[in-house]
Every structure is written in C-alpha cells, then in structure tokens.
Amino acid sequence: MPFTPAELHDLPLVISAPRFATYLQATGNDRERALSLYEWNLTLSAAFIVPLQVCEVAVRNGVAEAIEKVHGATWPWSNGFLRSLPRPKRLTDYNPEIDLRSVAARQPTTGKVIAELKFAFWEQIFTAGQDSRLWLAHFRASFPGTPATLSIPTARATARDDLRSIRHLRNRIAHHEPIFTRNLVDDYRRIHELTGWRSQTAAAWMNRKQGVTSLIPLKP
C-alpha cells in the first residue's frame, strides 16, 4: 500500500536522517521507494528470527553434546575444558574462556550456562585446535547430517565459516541495521544447511515455518 503524506513526512524523521540516508542512497533519493525498502528490510529482518533461532539452538546443543562426552556433564566448570579454549590474539577480541567463566559463575546448571553463552562462543569451538580434542571423535555424532563426502576437518572449518557469517547477520538484525545489501539467499542457505547437519528433520520443519524465502524476491 502507498504511504500516506504523514508517513512520508514523519517516518524518515523517526528512523533518523543518518539511518534513512542509507535507504535514500540505494533508491536514488526517492523518498517513497526508500521507505518501501526500509519496510521490506524490517519485515525480512523479523522473518529471519525464526530460522536464526532454530539454527542457533540446534548448533549449540550439538556442540554441548560433544563437549559433554569429553569433559563430562559439568563441563562449564572443567579446568581442562577452560584451558582448551582458543586464546584471542588481541585483548579487545572476544575471549570464550572469560565469557564461560563469567556465565558459569552466576548460573547454577549446565543448561542455563548453554542458554546464556554468546553466539560467538559456539563459533569458537569450531577451531582446528579442537579437532583432536572433540571433533575427530564426535563431530558426526553431534552433526549426523553432515555430508559423508566432507572430511571432519573440512566440515568443522565450513561450520565455523558459516557460523561467522550467520553471527554477522544476526548482529545486524539485532542492532536494527540494513541487511538488504547482503546475499540473503546465501544467508538462508547457510542457516538451513547448518541446521540440517544437526537434524534434517529440524531443517525441513524450519523450512516450512520460515517466511524468508518468499520475502526475498519482493525486494522493492
């Protein structure tokens, strides 16, 4: 539906001039087209929440399952596991050990720790340093839908790259940033594929529930 004169006047002010400028630039300074693009970006960002949530829960539970097999049910408090976590190259980079220690200090159970850890934590477990500790023995059990043609190190590296891209998408959506310049078809493919590595049934169910793929072609 077309925008009302009040919407054309007020919405860009509510959105803010610097933020709306991104959409104006993409639409040749056409105010109505820019608002249509903003509205589509908003609707698509909301639609992505469903597959993103399914993927994150599926992946983190798969990772936690592998960690538990090696470090026991109380792995968040295991010094052996804490020492195995990758160290950031810079002090300003995300540190999975600090994150885990902080969460484990205030949460009483492993389940609550899993729910509170940052998305980046799970990404960091897919490092080459964990191949001999976790993945060579347990990757296919945690992610049984992984293609048999992929070696475990290749699958693990692919998962890490995909999670990094998915996390960037998730963060942009969480901070209300534009996603319209991304390859959104590829974004959804990554989410669907990684969910399918954990469970083909879950991936098929997610595919039925999501609205992303029907919205992508409607970009103004």
DSSP classification of residue 135: I
Look at residue 1 in the predicted model and tell me its pLDDT.
Answer: 64
Per-residue pLDDT 10s for the chain (220 aa) are 689 999 999 999 999 999 999 999 999 999 999 999 999 999 999 999 999 999 999 999 999 999 999 999 999 999 999 999 999 888 889 999 999 999 999 999 999 999 999 999 999 999 999 999 999 999 999 999 999 999 999 999 999 999 999 999 999 999 999 999 999 999 999 999 999 999 999 999 999 999 999 999 999 9
Look at residue 89 in the predicted model and tell me its pLDDT.
Answer: 86
Look at residue 215 in the predicted model and tell me its pLDDT.
Answer: 98
* Residue 138 · residue 66 · CB < 8 Å: yes
* Residue 86 · residue 124 · CB < 8 Å: yes
Both tokens assigned to 30: 């056409």
Chain Cα centroid distance, residue 57: 10
CB atoms within 10 A of CB 181: 9
Look at residue 101 in the predicted model and tell me its pLDDT.
Answer: 97
2: number of CA atoms within 13 Å, CB side?
A: 2
From the number of C-beta atoms within 10 Å of its C-beta (0-12, 13-18, 19+), residue 80 rates as: exposed
Both tokens assigned to 82: 């804490």
Domain boundaries, the chain: 5-218
